[in-house]
Structure 1
Amino acid sequence: MNKTRRVEIETLVPHPKYGKLLKRRTVCHAHDETNQSHLGDQVEIMETRPLSKTKRWRVVRIVRLGAQQALAGEGEAAKASV
């Protein structure tokens, strides 16, 4: 799935009888034209026309980099300063 990202949206909903909060997730397949987002990134998506059988969303921007990307960036900065 080149240029496609699987975006999970987690929500907390109360149990109808007991009131305990339960995690529910919705999976959206989003189009990422430039392949900039990676695993663990927090992204903003918007609805668009159907691009394929499952893709109905598009990545607008990367809100926050994932932990893997942030750590890799720190290591490169340390190497450059040495």
Structure 2
Amino acid sequence: MPKRILQGVVTSDQNEQTVTVLVERRFKHPLLHKTVRKSKKYRAHDEQNTFKVGDTVRIQECAPKSKTKRWEVLTA
């Protein structure tokens, strides 16, 4: 089964080898038929600490690296 890939914006890079990525998704409300925006934050592994706040990155599912990290950064 292929691993999920999401795209989002880095909101925090304060931790060592970790970035927080805000991923926004859009969908149509089933009853109101208007576009709704929902967002969620993911903690992703950044091996070389290359990404900074404001960067747009792609993250991919991976095996758990810590208590909260289940994603790793692919590319900018």
Query: Following TM superposition, by how much is the alpha carbon of 1:10 offset from its aligned partner in structure 2, in angstroms?
Result: 0.7
Larger fraction in strand: 2
SS in 2 for 1:23: strand
Q: TM-score, normalised by structure 1?
A: 0.69
Q: Is residue 20 of structure 1 aligned with residue 34 of structure 2?
A: yes
**Which blocks of at least 5 consecutive residues in structure 1 are unaligned?**
63-82
Q: Is 1:40–2:54 an aligned residue pair?
A: yes
How far, CA to CA, are the matches of 2:25 and 2:70 in structure 1?
Answer: 20
What does 1:1-80 correspond to in 2, within 5 Å?
A: 1-62=15-76
Q: Which runs of 5+ in 2 are unaligned?
A: 1-14
For normalisation by structure 2, the TM-score amounts to: 0.74
Higher relative contact order, structure no. (Cα contacts within 8 Å, ≥ 6 residues apart): 2
Q: Whose helix proportion is higher, 1 or 2?
A: 1
* Secondary structure of 2:63's aligned partner: coil
Query: Structure 1 segments of 4 or more deviating over 2 A?
Result: none
User: What displacement does 1:26 show?
Assistant: 2.4
Paired positions, count: 62
* Greater Rg by CA: 1
RMSD: 1.1
